[in-house]
Each structure stands twice: as structure tokens, then as C-alpha cells.
Chains A and B, each alone.
Chain A
Amino acid sequence: MRGDLLLLSPEFLVAGLAFVVLGVDLVLRRERPGWLAAIAATGLAGILVFTLVYLWGKEGALYNGTYAVDAYAFFFKAFFLITGIVIILMSVEYVTKHLTRAGEFYSLILFSIVAMMALAASSELLTAYISLELLSFCLYILASYTGDSRKSDEAGTKYILLGAFASALLLYGISLLYGVVGVTRFEDISAQLQLLQGTSTNPALIAAFVFILAGLGFKVAAVPFHMWAPDIYEGAPTPITAYLAVASKAAAFALLLRLFGVAFLPVAGQWQLLVALLAAITMTLGNLVAIGQRNFKRLLAYSSIGQVGYLLMGIAALAHQGSNPVSASHPAAIGIVFHLAGYAVTNLAVFMGVIAFSPPEQEDIPSYAGLARRSPMLAAVITVGLFSLAGMPFFAGFVTKFYLFTAAAQEGLLWLVALAILNSLISFYYYLVIVRWMYIEAPTDPKPLRLSGLTIAVLAVLLVGILAIGLYPAPLVEAISAATKAIAG
């Protein structure tokens, strides 16, 4: 038992770090918010190294198989730790300038990292649910952190109400499912569902899938459950918007992948079309509505809804075409995680650009006019990020999209892939409009923009990340391939 608990040490350490940050905040009062960030970021970096060394190649299942320590969870642990470090570094200046109570801010981020790590590791419905709630609660507070801003208050309130509603739906779906199969562990569910194969379609089961999909659809902002996303993206402090767009989405997909790739796979025929249609409307609506946006953060919200559509297409592709499969499609699983990773780096770069450029009241796209002359580096990084999101070559987005789309085409979803490709064109248009403002229009305020050393460093690292994945993706794909073997292939 003692050996088992040690397998959880990364989670314990991050939680401990959160308390350390809170404690130091008590001592330091409000004078040095930068120190808290330094503690949190170096702490996470240390934990990352420890995790990589200690958990390398370790496998195990804790608490009667409700909590998995496998390659898949290992990959996502590293993913969330790295994202956490970047988010904290992105927040440093923003927090100093615009926010009070830095201690709680950083510790909430740390707690949410614990939640996400648990989410990727849970292999049982209730564990997953509790992890998801822990994550959501952290995010509710963080989203409304700018206490004096009405927009932020509205964002937070909306988020809490709709989030609670989504959780209720999810819980209802879980209880229906339990009513049918009588178990909650993913592998047991899979086994039970295999027994049901060949029998007539069970309405309760369909209802369970619909409710679970709706609940999780809320969390990842899939259409038609996306209404909260633009308001909250706009109202939340920008680093938190980035965090929502990247980390919380990745966590939800980590769960979706386990859920649909393992637990629900035997009855894939009953949900594949549903998920495919959800993907189709999500990507189309997200991209179409993005065209009309004037606020950069709202635009990114809709564009990320479009990205969710692509990822859901991957989920639909987990099921092999036309048969009731024993294991999920490995290329599709790689495609989802790979695209998540590429999307994360890219989106973080774009958001870092937004944070570095705009004070909270200046997020309109026209205010980016002439940015290329005021700060060539900032404009270049945002442009690279947008091109990568659109899926242009050299950049991460091209390869990750190509991989994901190829995998989906392989599983017989060529019609959906064609729609996704059409959506890429639409998204390219509205990204180009932003590029036009930055490069072609004359600046209203010609004075050069000075970036701090930290900002430049973060931008440079993310830029290198985008190019590295875009130009030589093999190492990352191999890592992901090894990680997803745990659930597919």
C-alpha cells in the first residue's frame, strides 16, 4: 500500500506546492507577487523533472483500479505541468498590473493542475466526476478574478450557473449508465457493454450517452453547449482565458478519450454518428460565427470552438468503421492527443501575444493596427500562431491537423474530414483579417511597444515549440503513440 501511494507523489507535491504558495503569501503580504510566481513555476519545474524520472515506465492501478498510473496518465501529467509553468510565467506581469491577491491566484492554478492530473488518470466514473468538479471550482473562481470588473463578474456567474447545470446533466447520465450496467470502472463498463452487443438498442443507454455527452460537451464548449465560452473568454483575465482554452480543454479530452476509447467502445455504433454530427456542427458554427467578431478574445473563443469540432471528429473516429471493435483506433487516439499538444503550444503563443499587447480594455481587433511596426516580434509571433491555428505548413497546426484528419479519413469519416478541411479555409479567412490589421493598416499610435525580457523569453520558447513540432514531429508523435497504447491499439 505504501508503494502504491508513492505513485501519487506528483499529485501530492503539486497540492503541497499550492499550500506553500499560500503560506508564503501570508508572510510576504502583497509586496512581491513576482516571488510567488517564481516559487510556483520553479516548484512545478522541479516536480516535472521528478515526475519524469520517478514515474518513467512505472505502471499501476490504485484504489481497486479506479485510478490509473499508466503511460497515458504519465504523458498528460507532463503535459499539464508544462502548461502550468507556461501559464504562470504568462501571468506574472498581468497579475502584477491588474490583479490583487496573487497568492490565491497562483495556488488556485496549482490546485487545478492537481485536478487535471487526476482527471487524466481516473479510470472510473465517479473519480472522473470528482476530478472534473475540482477543476471546475478552481476555474469558476479564476474566471471571475478581476473583482472590480463587471464583465469578469458576469463571466464568473454565468460560468458557475451553466457549469453546475452541465455537471448535473453529466451526473444524471452517469446514474442512467450505472442503472444499465451496474458498474463504474471503465473496463468493467466495457465488459458489460460487450455482453449487451447484439441485443436491441437500450433507450436508457442512449439517454445516458446523450446526457454524458451533453455534460462533457458543456465543459469543452461543443455546440450547442458553447454559449458560455465567448462571454467567459472575454470577461476572464487573459491568462485564465488561455488556461481555459488550452489546459481545461485538454483535460476534458483526456477524459473523453478514455471514456469513448475504452468504456463505451463496444457499442460504438450507437454513439459514433451522434459524436460525428456534434463535431460537424461544432466546427462549422464555431468558425462561421468567428468571422463576425471584433473582440480578439471572443474571436479566439469561437476559433477554439472550431478546434473542439476537429477533436470531436477524432473521438468519432476512435470507433472502427462498421464493426463493433475490441480496441479503439490507435491513429485516431494519437491524432487527438497530437492535435491537442500542437493546439496548446499555438494557442499559448497567441494568448501570450494578446497579454503582452493589450491592457484589458483594449482587445478590439482594430487596436492591433500597425502592430508589425510597433513591435515586429509580437506581430510575428501572433501571425505564426494564427497561421498555425489555420493549419499552414512549417507550423505545428499543419502536421497535427494532417495527422488527425488522416486518421479520421482512415476510419471512413472522409465526409466529415472534407467538412473540417472546408472549415480550415473559413478559419484562415478570419485569421488573415487580423494579420491584415497588424501588417497592412497604419498604426493609430506609432510609438514602439516595449516588451519585458520575460515576455520575450516566453514568446521565443513558444515560437520554437510551434516550429519544432511543425518541422520535426516524429519524437512527439512517438511519445504520444506510446502513451495512447495504454487505451488503444
Chain B
Amino acid sequence: MLGLSILLPFAAAFVLAALPAQRSHLIRVFVVAVAAIGLALSIAIFLAYDHELGGYQLREEYRWLPSLGISFKLGIDGISAVLILLNGIVFFAGAIVSWRLQPRSKEFFFLLLLLVTGVYGTFETLNLFFLFFFYELAVVPMYLLIGVWGSSSDFGTFIRTKEYGAMKLVLYLTAGSLLVWVALLALYVQSGAGTFDLEGLQQALRDGAFSTSFQRIFFPLLVVGFGVLAGLWPFHTWSPDGHVAAPTAVSMLHAGVLMKVGAYPILRVAMTLLPEGAQFWAPVLIGLATVNVLYGAIAAISQRDLKYVVAYSSVSHMGYVLMGLATLDPLGVNGAVLQMFSHGIMTALFFALVGVIYERAHVRDITVLEGLSKRMGVTGAFFAVAGLTSLGLPGLSGFVAEFLVFAGTFRTYPILGFLAILGAALTTVYILRLLAKVFFGPLPERWAHLPDATGYEKAAMAMLVVTIVAVGVWPFPLIRVIDGSVKVLLAGMGVQ
């Protein structure tokens, strides 16, 4: 089943390439169908994971390059199961929202499908070579996706072209992957096991192949390398520029899912294989993550471009993920994983909404946009839900996740726990101001004729809203799956 979920978007990309470019309707139907099957597969994978059994499940293994210890090995635990579900949902919503994308839509969806292949692969593989392979694959299509279909920001004194955003994003992420590459080679050599297999390397760890000093040297390499994609401060600057420049579906996928492709290997590779390094560097990491939270929130307050607000808010919320991971506390790590899911859905919703508004108003300047709720009622309501999730209103998914992160932080670093809550307060500032100004103010003449989101856009966004509420009200199905795997992870690290 795992192999199928990787093969599906990959094969679909090439089928798509064979379709005639003029038949744009056929192409759209095809992509949405693929995304629907992908969603069904993701749900099936999530349900097939047996949380009571624990460990890596749904294994598949194929010979690939034995002389280098590389096999195409797949398997998931509870953490990956949740993220696979996230990917299925966001991709489906993104495919629907891109329905009206016009110029060169065939190439667009071709690249988007490759991106999705990379995401599934990263979450599902148990071989570090393939993890790196899929991780890089998630970077390759980005330059064209942003450069060709993106949009530039021009605020007179502040100009960011889409080419700039695209190049910055790609170079930052590639730079991050370089650190990862060096560290992976070091792990390979140091283990002496001649394998890139994750479990093989875990065995090497238990046999004492990775000395304390080795772990302390290479843990930061992995964390910074993957952290670039997770939006770790101060390596986050590609994210606002890149995500703002990207077309809607790409922003949704990239901020919603791809940033988790950065956070997930920190947990799966860095913390699993280098536990002593993790314990040594955890105070630094949690310090940086706190800066993430606060810096992102303060930056979001001062933006004029609606999309930049969302992008910085995304950076701020990824800070909670990294904080939770760095607590090395069961509550905190559980919260981090749940926050990955919650943030993914919420950010996807945010970017979808910004896309809807921008497509109609052709402006994203929040000093110009006013009172939109009167004409775009559903859009406004959904934006309120996303906003309230973001500031952590109880009953929505963000609350549960952030609460767990705070609890974990208070148990380990109480002072930073206060700062984290301050971050949530700052979020309230920019979200409520935004809602009041852009949606609930008086409606000027200029916006009096804006149509609301179309039916299918509403449907896609409603799906995200329902997910947010469902997880907020009843997070148990997700948490019980996550919790078992987090316990195994922390036990393997030798922390309680």
C-alpha cells in the first residue's frame, strides 16, 4: 500500500505528460481524480496502522543498490501515519483549489505531482538514501512552480519578484540538504555497517558505533539542514518570500506539508540516531524555536501584504513544532507531531483563502482590503476559523496541539513556556486586527461587487475546516496513534 501511494502520483505525472495540453478540462479532472485516490489511500494507510502493535508497519522492501547498502525500504510508524494523512488531505484540497489555473496547466500539475511523490516518499521510507532522495525531490520542482506560475509582490518601497522568491527558496533548501548529505555520509562511515538502512543504523547506535562527541558534532548539522525546510530561525527567511511568491496550491502544499518534511526527519533521523547529541543541543534548539515563535509573530504583526502575514504566522507556528520536539518530553513531542498536522491543515486553509481573495480583488494589501465579509461571507467565516485555530481557541485543533507543547515546555523549561504563551498572545493581536479590518469593517464601494468563493472552492475549504474542528473536539484518534510511536522514540533515546 505504501509503495502504491508513492507510485500513484509518480505514474500519474507521466500519464499526465502524455495527455494533450489543449484538453485542459480533462487534465483537471484527471488531477482531481488522482488526488482523490491519493486521499483515499492516505486514509486507508492511516487506518491500517495498528497503534497497539506499534513499531514500523506496512513494510515493503525492494532490492535497489546492494553494494552501497541501499534498498527501497518502506514502513511507517504512528508519526508518519498522521503526516501521510495530512498530505492526502492537503493535496486533495490543493488540486481542487487549482481548478481554474489556466496557462500551461499541464506542466503545473506535472510538477505538483512530482512534489507530492517526494512528500509521500519522505514520510514512508526507512532508508536514509531514499529519505534524502525524496527530500531533494521535494525541492526540484519548486523553482519552476514558483518562477512560472507565481506572483510578484510590489509595494513601491518593497519589491520581491517571483524569480527572487523562487531562487531564494531553492537555494536555501538545497543548502540545507547539503548539510544533511554530509551528515548522512558521516553516519554511514561511522556506523561501519555499510548501510543506509535506518534500522541498521539504529542497531549500530545500540552497539555504540556513534560516540558522544560524534553525536554532538553531527546532530546540529542534521537539525540545521532539515531545520531550514522546517522554517527554523534564523534560516527561515526563504519561507515568507517563497510562499508569498508561490501560486496558491503550491503555497498550501509547501507551507502545509513540505515544512513538515523538514520537521519530520529531525525526529526520525536526528533524534533517533543521535540521542546524546539531541540531549546536548536541546536547550539551544528550544531557544531558537522560541525565537521562531516570537519573531514570526512580531513580523506577522508588521506586514501589509495579507499573504506575508500568513507566511510569517506559519513560521511562528512551526516554532511550536520545533519547541515541542526540543523538550524531549512525551507531552511536548506529542504536541509537536499534532501541531505538524494542525498547522498543515490550518496553513493550507489560510493560503487557500488568500488565493480566493487575491484572485478576485487582485490586491493583497491589508490597508486597502476592507469589509470583505459582507460580500464574501463564507470566505470570511472560514478565515475566522483559521485565525481562531491559529491563536489557539479551545475546540479547534491548534488548541490541543499547542496546549501539549506548552505543557511539555513548562515541565522542562518553564521560562520558555511563558514566552511561548506570549507568542500565542501576539498571534491574537495580528489575527484579530486582520479579521476586524479586512473582513468585518465597513465595505467600501471598490469591493462592493466581489463574488464569494465558488462552490468547489467552498467544498475544498470546508473539508479543511471540518478537519480542524474534528481534531479540536476529538483529538483522541490521532493522539493515540502518535503517542505510542513517541514513547518508542523517546525510550530508544534513553529519556523518560
Q: Which of B125-182 contact A (CB under 8 A)?
A: 129, 133-134, 136-137, 139-140, 143-144, 147-148, 163, 167, 170-171, 174-175, 178, 181-182
At the interface, yes or no: B68 with Cβ under 8 Å from chain A?
yes
- The smallest beta-carbon distance between B232 and chain A, in angstroms, is 18
Evaluate whether A436 and B147 lie within 8 angstroms (CB atoms) in the complex, with A406-B188, A410-B189 already known.
yes
Residues of A contacting B446 in the complex (Cβ-Cβ under 8 angstroms): none
Contact with B along A378-418 (1 / 0, CB 8 A): 00000000010000111000110011011001100010011
Nearest-CB residue, chain A, relative to B66: A474
The CA-CA distance from A440 to B170 in the complex, in Å, is 15
Docked-complex contact B171 and A409, CB < 8 angstroms: no
B148 near A398 (CB under 8 angstroms)? no
Pick from A87-95, A206-214, A425-433 the stretch touching chain B: A425-433
Residues of the B chain whose Cβ atoms lie less than 8 Å from the Cβ of A409: 185-186, 188-189
| Residues A418 and B182 in contact in the complex (CB < 8 Å), given A435-B144, A440-B148 | yes
A398 & B136 in contact (Cβ 8 Å cutoff): yes
Among A387, A414, A418, A473, the one with the most B-chain Cβ atoms within 10 Å of its Cβ is: A418
A417 and B182 form a contact (CB under 8 A): yes
Interface status of B64 (Cβ within 8 A of chain A): yes
A414 to B133, CA, bound (A): 20
Within 8 Å by CB of A473, from B65, B140, B171, lies: B65
User: CB within 8 A of B140: which of A393, A403, A439, A481?
Assistant: A393
At the interface, is chain A mostly helix, strand, loop or mixed?
Answer: helix
B163, A414: Cβ atoms closer than 8 Å: no
Once the chains bind, are B170 and A432 in contact (CB under 8 Å)?
Answer: yes
**Does A428 lie within 8 Å of B185, measured CB to CB?**
no
Smallest CB-CB separation from B117: which chain A residue?
A394
Name the prevailing secondary structure of the B interface residues.
Answer: helix
Question: B63 in the interface, Cβ–Cβ < 8 Å?
Answer: yes
B67 within 8 A of A: yes
Query: Please, what's the 1-or-0 string for A428-452, where 1 marks a CB less than 8 Å from any CB in chain B?
Result: 1100100110011000000000000
Taking a contact as CB atoms under 8 Å apart, the answer to whether B137 and A394 are in contact is yes
Query: Do B140 and A387 touch (CB < 8 A)?
Result: yes
Q: List residues of chain B with CB within 8 A of the CB of A387.
A: 140
| Chain B hits for A418, CB < 8 A | 182
A50 sits at the interface (CB 8 A): no
Min Cβ gap A119→B in Å is 27
Number of interface residues of A (CB under 8 A): 34
Q: Cβ of B136: which chain A residues have Cβ within 8 Å of it?
A: 392-393, 398
CB of B185 within 8 A of CB of A432, answer no
Assembly CA distance A392 to B186 (angstroms): 20
Residues of chain B contacted by A402 (CB below 8 angstroms): 129
A403 and B68 in contact (CB under 8 A), knowing A394-B137, A432-B170, A435-B143? yes
Whether A289 is near chain B, meaning CB under 8 Å from some CB there, is no
> Are A405 and B64 in touch, CB under 8 angstroms?
no
Please tell me if A254 contacts chain B, counting CB pairs below 8 Å.
no
**CB neighbours of A241 from chain B (8 A):** none
Contact B68 A406 (CB under 8 A): yes
Residue contact B163 to A440, C-beta cutoff 8 Å = yes
User: Given A425-B175, A440-B147, A474-B65, is A393 in contact with B133 using a C-beta cutoff of 8 Å?
Assistant: yes
Measured in the bound complex, the distance between the Cα atoms of B171 and A425 in whole Å is 7
Does A474 lie within 8 Å of B64, measured CB to CB?
yes
**Which residues of B have CB within 8 Å of A428?**
170-171, 174
**Which chain A residue lies CB-closest to B121?**
A393
Contact of B65 among A394, A429, A436, A477 (CB under 8 A): A477
Chain B CB within 8 A of A54 CB: no
How large, as a class, is the contact surface on chain B? 20 to 34
Contacts of A435 in B (CB 8 A): 143-144
Say yes or no for A56: interface residue by CB 8 A criterion: no
* Any B CB within 8 A of the CB of A422: yes
A414-B185, A421-B181, A428-B174 as given contacts; A392 in contact with B65, CB under 8 Å: no
Contacting residues of chain B (228-249) with chain A, CB-CB under 8 angstroms: none
| Nearest B residue to A424, CB-CB | B178
> Min CB distance, A136 to chain B, in Å?
35
Hey, which chain B residues are within 8 Å of A398, CB to CB? 133, 136
Tell whether A354 is near chain B: CB-to-CB under 8 Å. Answer: no
A439 touches B148 (CB 8 A): yes
A285-340 CB contacts (< 8 Å) to partner B: 331, 334
Q: Is the CB of A474 within 8 A of B182?
A: no
Identify which of B67, B129, B178, B182 contacts A414 (C-beta below 8 A): B182
Residues of B within 8 A of A165 (CB): none
Q: Is A406 within 8 A of B178, CB to CB?
A: no
Interface 1/0 per residue, B13-52 and A, CB below 8 Å: 0000000000000000000000000000000000000000
Docked-complex contact B64 and A422, CB < 8 angstroms: no
Contact with A along B76-114 (1 / 0, CB 8 A): 000000000000000000000000000000000000000
Residues in A whose Cβ lies below 8 Å from that of B170: 428, 432
> Smallest CB–CB gap between A346 and chain B, Å?
15
User: A417 and B147 in contact (CB under 8 A), knowing A387-B140, A402-B129, A425-B175?
Assistant: no
B139 to chain A, nearest CB (A): 8
A429 to B174, CA, bound (A): 10
Do B185 and A393 have beta carbons less than 8 Å apart? no
Cα A472 to Cα B139 in complex, Å, equals 21
Q: A477 near B67 (CB under 8 angstroms)?
A: yes
Question: Smallest Cβ distance from A379 to chain B, in angstroms?
Answer: 10
CB of A417 within 8 A of CB of B143, answer no
Q: Complex: how many Å from CA A317 to CA B221?
A: 24
- Complex interface: chain A residues within 8 A of B185 (CB): 405-406, 409, 414, 417
CB nearest neighbor in B for A471: B64
CB A316 to nearest CB in B, in angstroms, measures: 16
CB neighbours (8 Å) of B148 from chain A are 439-440
> Of residues 400 to 455 in B, which have CB atoms within 8 Å of A's CB atoms?
none
In the complex, chain A residues whose CB is within 8 Å of the CB of B137: 392-394
Residue in B closest to A405 when the chains form the complex, CB atoms: B185
A421 & B129 in contact (Cβ 8 Å cutoff): no
Complex Cα–Cα for A248 and B68 (A):
29
Task: Give the docked Cα–Cα distance between A439 and B129 (Å).
Answer: 30
Which residue on A lies nearest to B10, using beta carbons? A394
> In the bound complex, what is the Cα–Cα distance between A414 and B167 (angstroms)?
28
Cβ < 8 Å to B, chain A residues 347-394: 387, 392-394
CB neighbours (8 Å) of B133 from chain A are 393, 398
* Complex-state Cα separation, A332 to B66, whole angstroms: 16
Closest to A390 in B: B174
Closest Cβ of chain A: how far from B40's Cβ, in Å? 26
A60 to chain B minimum Cβ distance, whole angstroms, is 27
Separation of A410 and B67 alpha carbons in the complex (Å): 13
- CB A172 to nearest CB in B, in angstroms, measures 38
Q: Are B178 and A422 in contact (CB under 8 A)?
A: yes
Contact, CB under 8 Å: A472 / B64: yes
When distances are taken between beta carbons in the complex, the residues of chain B under 8 Å from A424 are 174, 178
Cα distance A402–B66 in the bound complex, in angstroms: 14
Would you call A436 and B68 a contact (CB within 8 A)?
no
In the complex, A436→B65 CA distance in Å? 34
Distance in angstroms from A229 CB to nearest chain B CB is 26
B74 to chain A, nearest CB (A): 16
Sampled A-B contacts (12; CB under 8 Å): A334-B67, A393-B134, A398-B133, A421-B182, A425-B178, A432-B143, A432-B167, A435-B144, A436-B163, A439-B144, A439-B147, A474-B65
Q: Footprint of B on A, CB under 8 Å?
A: 331, 334, 387, 392-394, 398-399, 402-403, 405-406, 409-410, 414, 417-418, 421-422, 424-425, 428-429, 432, 435-436, 439-440, 472-474, 477-478, 481
Beyond A393-B140, A421-B178, A425-B174, 14 additional pairs, beta carbon < 8 A:
A334-B67, A387-B140, A398-B136, A405-B185, A410-B188, A414-B182, A414-B186, A421-B182, A422-B178, A432-B143, A435-B143, A439-B148, A474-B63, A474-B66
Q: Which 5 A-B pairs have the closest CB atoms?
A: A409-B185, A393-B133, A421-B178, A393-B137, A440-B147
